[in-house]
Structures are given as structure tokens and as C-alpha cells.
Amino acid sequence: MSKLIRKVRRHIEKFALLSNGERVLVAVSGGPDSMALLHVLLALKEELELDLYIAHYDHRLRKESVKEALFVKDYAKKLGLPFILAAAPVKLYARREKISLEAAGRELRYRFFERVAEEYGLNKVALAHQADDLAEEVLLRFIRGAGRRGLAGIPVKRGGIFIRPLLLVSREEIDDFLQKEGIPYVEDPSNEDPRFLRNRVRHLLIPFLEKHFHKNVKECLKRTALLVAEEEEFLGCLALQKLEKHGRKEADAFHLSVRGLINVPLVLRRRMYLEALKAIGVPLFRVRLSHIEQIESLLTGKTRGNINLPGGFIARREPGRLVFKKVEAPLKPFREEITGTGEYLLPNNITLRVYYTRAGEAPKNALVLDAQKASFPLIVRSHLPGDRIRLLGLSGRKKLKKIFWEHKLTHDERRIWPIVEKDGEIIGLPGLAIAENYAPKDANQKALVIEFSFA
């Protein structure tokens, strides 16, 4: 067994990353780190009785991305491992949420991993961040002015499902392993692009620090990050205890008692804000120190009114309490053209996944259509008064209103449930109904699957 595999096995044990018999989704971009991770986990598969799955997310931001997805797909096939792929409307999402392409890609990618883990009943998602990533990330965040949470860098595990078995292994050790084992990988040219601050940290700042200040600067940064991470974890536990005492969660809202908060030291209070936001589903990736400071200024009375938080949440001061809550965006009717397979972002935070598979393998809650008959373009739209569908075995057409009622859909669900139309005729509603002639005849037939989820 190679040195690297033994080292990772020790880390898996030390940080309790995996238990025997777990079902693991390996996030493989096709780059050197994730290909090494895949091989390390393959080597430990038998001993740890792991069930491995491979997932790849095609961000569609570079023209080579399809090739990379195919590389990972073929590799999974060669290894005989299940492979799950999604393609992403990253640009659209970034524009809509007013965030960078990098941040949008990250958010959608992590959401995809979580969704796949849930759908396939997997307990862990293994990511291939390594020690050099950790050092670079810490420096980068320092430059950008992060708080303590940022300086803790990249955690070795998060949220009970994400694990990073290679986090304490250097890029050099990984390269050495790949070469000795003859493992192929694809290079991501954007890793060299000096327009990205992260790449300038990797290619300019770290070598400069190594040359002129400290040969082992990466090791030092790693050590600092691990120490801060331990302290962060401790602070997190304390904050949760305090939240139990002084806070109350209510569906999409969190209430914090002002009297409870002012008796807590500022450093802990900041962490309490963060834990409260996490509890109601605010995307923590996007919460900046400035948001936390704004919340603090609500408490001290320096700011009044609503403070906008990421993901459509607000914070405001009410008598005797701070309130964090989701502001409901009004539901919008929609009509979109579906021109091919992929992911589509519809209004009202609906994500649509359109793909081909064998009819027998399609999930039950999706619309599964005969691929030949349901050719593109299709229209996906929201409900209109008088909508009807021609169902098998019925002489006339059935009102959608009746179908909604039979499935006990709420008023809001009825307004935005996606309805699929071809040539002016309704051909189905995911999970609810399919028009006559559009259902595949047998399980082996090629089917077009339309699945959707509300964010």
C-alpha cells in the first residue's frame, strides 16, 4: 500500500471521516486532486466496505468542460462505478443572484452534491481539497479581510456529510502518487489564469513568501488554520448552547432575545448570529463579516429598518428581539422554452432537470416521456385557467384543477407546478399526470425525464 494511501487512512481514522459500510459520493472534477482521491478511496474500498459513487458537475463555463465530463464518465464506466452528471446554468444563476461566476458555480455544485446524496441514499460526499488549497485559501481570506471563521480555512468535515480526506496531503505528494500509479487526469487551464486572485496567491504570493520569508510558509498556514478551526468548533458549541437559551426558531424565522444577547460577549454574539442564520437556511457561503456587523448595529441601535441578507432573508429589530426571516418573493407565472437536456432555472426558484435515461430507471416523481414523441422544443409553463389534459382511457380531457385537487396541492403549488406542453397540447405534469400516447411502452425504452425541485 502506498505511503499516501496509508497517510489518508490515518486521517480518516483520526478525524472520524468514514465508518465501515458507508455509501460515498466522490466529487470528481477530473483534475489531479479528485482523481487521486478516487484512487485512494478505491484502494480502501474493500477494507472499509465502501460503496462508491462518482458525481461530476459540468459548469459549462469553458468549452473544454464537456470533454472533462466525458473523461470522468468514461473513467467511472471503466471502474464499474455509478456515475451522476449534471450540467449547470451557472451564468444565469450568477446574474440572477448578483454574485460572481465562481460563487455561483460553488453554490450550485454543492446543492447538486446534496441533492444526489439524498436521492441515492448516500451518507458522505468526499471532496478533494488538499493542504496547498488550505494554505492558499487562508492567505486569500486574510487578504480579503475575513473574520475568524474565514481564517479557519477549509474544514476537514462539514454538516455531517462533506468530508475532505486529502486536506492534510500536499500537492507534491499527490503529484508523486499520480505519477507512480500512472493515474490519468485532465488539467483545468483556468487554474493558471492570473486574472483570478486565487491563482495569483498560488503562483506569485506563496512562492515569494517561501523564497524571502519562510521556506515552510504553507505548513505554517496549515497549522494556524487547524488551530483556529478547533477554536471555531468550540465557539460554535458555546453559541448553540446560548441560542437554545435566548433564541427561538419558527419555520423560516429566528427570534433572538435582546436581553439575552447583550449579556453575551461580542465574539460569541457574532457566532450566535451565524448559527441562527444557518438554522433557517441562509446560504452561509455568502454571509460576509459586513452582514454580521450590520446585524450587530441593529442590536446596538446604530441601524434601523430591515437589513438585507443573502438568499432573500432579512434581519430587523422588533420590540425586545432581533428577528431573522425569509421574505417571500411573490410567485410569478412563467413560460419557458426547453430546447435540450440540461438544467433550467425557472422563476420562483424552480430548478428543472431534463435528461434521457431508460424508462425503467427514471425516478417516480418525475415526468417520464417517450423520448421519440416528446421531441424538443417543449414549453414549460405555469397553470392557466381552463387547462386540461387528455388522459389514457378517458373520453374527454380532464381539468388540471381536478388533478391538483386530487393530489392535495396547496394554493401556491397549484400556481407554479410546471406544466409541459408540446405543439400547444399539455403532455404532462411531473409526478402528477401524463397525456395518452406519451408514456413509454416498456422499461427498456429511451425516455425523456423532466424533474423539478423548489429551491
Ligand X SMILES: Nc1ncnc2c1ncn2[C@@H]1O[C@H](COP(=O)(O)OP(=O)(O)OP(=O)(O)O)[C@@H](O)[C@H]1O
Query: Residue 73 interacts with ligand X (CB under 6 A)?
Result: no
Can you spell out the DSSP letters for 325-349?
A: EEPPPPP---EEEE-SSEEEEETTT
Residue 162 grid coordinates: 462533506
In what order do the strands lie in the sheet containing 124-126? 83-87, 51-58, 23-27, 124-126, 162-163, 157-158
Residue nearest to ligand X (CB): 128
Cβ neighbors of 1 (< 8 A, separation 6 or more) are 43
Query: Residue 41 interacts with ligand X (CB under 6 A)?
Result: no
Q: Known binder of ligand: residue 30?
A: yes
Task: Give 396-435 as a 3 state SS string.
Answer: CCEEHHHHHHHCCCCHHHHHHCCEEEECCEEEEECCCEEC
Query: Residue 343 interacts with ligand X (CB under 6 A)?
Result: no
Query: Residue 170 interacts with ligand X (CB under 6 A)?
Result: no
Q: Which stretch binds ligand X (CB under 6 A): 52-60, 251-259, 291-299, 412-420?
A: 52-60
Nearer to ligand X, 108 or 235 (CB): 108
Member of 8, 17, 24, 57 binding ligand X (CB under 6 A):
57
Member of 8, 18, 24, 28 binding ligand X (CB under 6 A):
28
Number of C-alpha atoms within 13 angstroms, CB side, residue 391? 14
Nearer to ligand X, 232 or 387 (CB): 232
CB of 391 to ligand X, least distance (A): 40
Q: Return d(Cα 309, Cα 328) in angstroms, integer.
A: 13
- DSSP helix/strand/coil, 15: coil
Question: How far, in Å, are 290, 383, 410, 431 from residue 419 at the CA level?
Answer: 42, 7, 16, 11
Member of 5, 9, 17, 29 binding ligand X (CB under 6 A):
29
Q: Which stretch binds ligand X (CB under 6 A): 50-58, 140-148, 251-259, 346-354?
A: 50-58
Query: Residue 25 interacts with ligand X (CB under 6 A)?
Result: no
Q: Known binder of ligand: residue 33?
A: yes
Strands (E), 60-103: 83-87
CB 4 within 8 A of CB 179: no
Query: Residue 222 interacts with ligand X (CB under 6 A)?
Result: no
Query: Residue 307 interacts with ligand X (CB under 6 A)?
Result: no
Query: What phi, psi does 136 have (nearest 5°)?
Result: -65, -40
Where is 336: in which H helix or E strand? strand 335-338
Other Cβ atoms within 10 Å of 410 Cβ, number: 8
Site of grid cell 474493500: 46
CB 29 within 8 A of CB 68: yes
Query: Residue 56 interacts with ligand X (CB under 6 A)?
Result: yes
Nearer to ligand X, 105 or 247 (CB): 105
CB 351 within 8 A of CB 453: yes
Member of 34, 170, 351, 382 binding ligand X (CB under 6 A):
34
CB of 186 to ligand X, least distance (A): 11
| Site map (CB under 6 A) of ligand X, residues 354-393, x = contact | ----------------------------------------
Member of 44, 94, 128, 346 binding ligand X (CB under 6 A):
128
Query: Residue 129 interacts with ligand X (CB under 6 A)?
Result: yes
Query: Residue 115 interacts with ligand X (CB under 6 A)?
Result: no
Nearer to ligand X, 205 or 314 (CB): 205
Q: Known binder of ligand: residue 34?
A: yes
Nearer to ligand X, 285 or 405 (CB): 285
Query: Residue 171 interacts with ligand X (CB under 6 A)?
Result: no
List helix spans (H) across 247-342. Answer: 258-262, 266-279, 289-300
Member of 8, 27, 178, 346 binding ligand X (CB under 6 A):
27
Q: Return d(Cα 108, Cα 91) in angstroms, integer.
A: 11
With contacts defined by CB under 6 A, how many residues of the chain interact with ligand X?
Answer: 15
Q: Known binder of ligand: residue 65?
A: no
Cβ neighbors of 100 (< 8 A, separation 6 or more) are 94
Member of 127, 389, 427, 450 binding ligand X (CB under 6 A):
127
Can you spell out the DSSP letters for 183-235?
A: ------GGGS-TTSHHHHIIIIIHHHHHHHT-TTHHHHHHHHHHHHHHHHHHH
Query: Residue 87 interacts with ligand X (CB under 6 A)?
Result: no
Q: Is the peptide bond before 377 cis (omega within 30 degrees of 0)?
A: yes
Q: Return d(Cα 241, Cα 247) in angstroms, integer.
A: 10
Residue 284 grid coordinates: 452561509
Member of 45, 60, 73, 106 binding ligand X (CB under 6 A):
106
Nearer to ligand X, 83 or 334 (CB): 83
Q: Which stretch binds ligand X (CB under 6 A): 51-59, 209-217, 272-280, 328-336?
A: 51-59
Query: Residue 136 interacts with ligand X (CB under 6 A)?
Result: no
| Binding residue positions | 29-34
| Binding positions for ligand X, rule: CB under 6 A | 27-29, 33-34, 55-57, 59, 106, 109, 127-129, 133
